[in-house]
Amino acid sequence: MHKLTKSFSHLVLPISVMTLLIIINLIKGADYFRITMVNGAFYGNIPNILFGASELVILSIGMTLVTAASRGQDISIGVSATITSAVFVQYVLQAGEVTLLTIVVGFLLSCVVGLFLGAFNGTLVSVFKVQPMVASLILFTGGRSIAFMIDGKLSPILANDISNHIGTVIPGVPIQTPIILTVVFIALVAVLFKTTNLRLYVETVGINPNAARLNGINPKKIIFLTFLIMGICTAVAGFIAVNKAGRHDSVNLLKLIMMDAILAVAIGGNSLIGGKFSITGSIIGAYTIEMLNRTLLRLEIEPATIKVFKAVFIIILMVVSSPVVRVFMKKALDRVRTWRLSLSQPKESALSTTYIAEKEEE
């Protein structure tokens, strides 16, 4: 019971923020939850949020593991996804006839590239002890140029029905394909945690690497493994993003998404200095960010000024969730409890004295 309560406490912040955004949207219009069927698929605010946050959810999962184990963040995830998706697009375009097998092989090839990029960052962090943000700065700086060269200095178009179905909907299936792919990925991650000790190892390394080493856990291997998983996450996110767009834009594809991924981890109640983590919290945090973006648009705020409103919201959120405020609130609640207890004690004593006196008279 205590463990369940402690796990739920990590979700208080993301659920509270999401609830606040829902209330704001309901005030704006009571039809917020309305879902319509268009060409055999569900559309509406909720499906659109689930659709729009697909890549962010997947990248947030990888960012959570990297943060928990290495006590730092990978800022190259958007660039890595751009490189992996560039490889996927080039393979598909050069394969001639596009079949389902072509798409699958291209996706697997992009995953191999993602593993290589994850291994590059992971080696710098785990072996050479480079700070994660500094290590990933290398790919962040030059990665899009690599993707641009893979594209042949063009913006290639994925003009085939299979890619179109992956990026939108499959005929006869009412749920948009990116949503299905995201759910499948989350399920695979859940199975991974259920069948292995990965969570325990990552948290142990993040909390105290020396203690982990004394207990037979190799911190280098665990940190390296989390970056490999991050590489897979970038490949999957890039695959979804490029099929959504229908073309590969090496300059703008998933640009600055690493900032939203880091924020999703923070909103999810996870510490940005490693240790215990909540994948569920990060997933809710990712959907919360997407809901925030769409809420600001729904409030008719100019796209150019959305970043300012978002920055203010983030500042308020971070201050509210900061350790200083948490300690202050805890002390305030303790004082309130003490005050209430002091008020109730005299009454109880008086009642007890009256009761004893009545008994003596009897």
Closest CA to 230 of 96, 123, 101: 123
121/224 Cα distance (integer angstroms): 8
Show the tokens assigned to 255: 């640009």
pLDDT at 346: 55
**Do residues 314 and 340 both lie within one domain?**
no
329/81 Cα distance (integer angstroms): 41
Please write the tens of the pLDDT for every residue from 159-187. 899 999 999 999 999 999 999 999 999 99
Going by their DSSP bridges, the two strands 41-44 and 35-38 should be labelled as antiparallel
pLDDT at 310: 74
Closest CA to 276 of 265, 262, 264: 265
305 pLDDT above the threshold of 90: no
CATH number of the domain encompassing residue 148: 1.10.3470
- Per-residue confidence band for 233, with pLDDT thresholds at 50, 70 and 90: very high
pLDDT at 4: 47
- Per-residue confidence band for 133, with pLDDT thresholds at 50, 70 and 90: very high
Window from 284-293, 321-330, 348-357 with minimum mean pLDDT? 348-357
Q: Average pLDDT, stretch 9-17? A: 78
**Do residues 240 and 343 both lie within one domain?**
no
Q: Average pLDDT, stretch 51-68? A: 97
347 pLDDT above the threshold of 90: no
pTM metric for this prediction = 0.88
308 pLDDT above the threshold of 90: no
Q: Which domain holds residue 346?
A: 322-362
**Do residues 99 and 208 both lie within one domain?**
yes
- Residue whose token pair is 């291994």: 119
**Do residues 219 and 269 both lie within one domain?**
yes
**Do residues 31 and 180 both lie within one domain?**
yes
337 pLDDT above the threshold of 70: yes
* Residue 224: exposure state from Cβ atoms within 10 A (0-12, 13-18, ≥19): buried
**Do residues 317 and 328 both lie within one domain?**
no
pLDDT at 272: 85
Q: What is the CA radius of gyration of the chain?
A: 25
Q: Are 66 and 92 in contact (CB under 8 A)?
A: no
Please write the tens of the pLDDT for every residue from 202-222. 999 999 999 999 999 999 999
**Do residues 35 and 176 both lie within one domain?**
yes
pLDDT at 315: 77
Please write the tens of the pLDDT for every residue from 245-261. 999 999 999 998 999 99
* Residue 249: exposure state from Cβ atoms within 10 A (0-12, 13-18, ≥19): buried
**Do residues 106 and 117 both lie within one domain?**
yes
Bigger pLDDT: 178 vs 274: 178
SS3 label, residue 346: helix
**Do residues 351 and 207 both lie within one domain?**
no
**Do residues 116 and 244 both lie within one domain?**
yes
Closest CA to 235 of 82, 65, 76: 82
Of 321, 338, 353, which residue sits at a domain end?
321
CA trace torsion 188, 189, 195, 198 (10° rounding): 150
Burial code of 123-143, b = ≥16 C-beta within 10 A, e = fewer? bbbbeeebebbebbbebbeeb
**Do residues 53 and 189 both lie within one domain?**
yes
pLDDT at 351: 47
Q: Average pLDDT, stretch 344-359? A: 52
- Per-residue confidence band for 326, with pLDDT thresholds at 50, 70 and 90: confident
pLDDT at 313: 74
60 pLDDT above the threshold of 70: yes
Cα–Cα distance list, 12 to 204, 268, 285 (Å): 24, 9, 11
Please write the tens of the pLDDT for every residue from 91-117. 999 988 899 999 999 999 999 999 999
pLDDT at 7: 53
**Do residues 359 and 217 both lie within one domain?**
no
12 pLDDT above the threshold of 50: yes
pLDDT at 358: 53
How many independent structural domains does the chain possess?
A: 2
pLDDT at 287: 95
Amino acid at 4: L
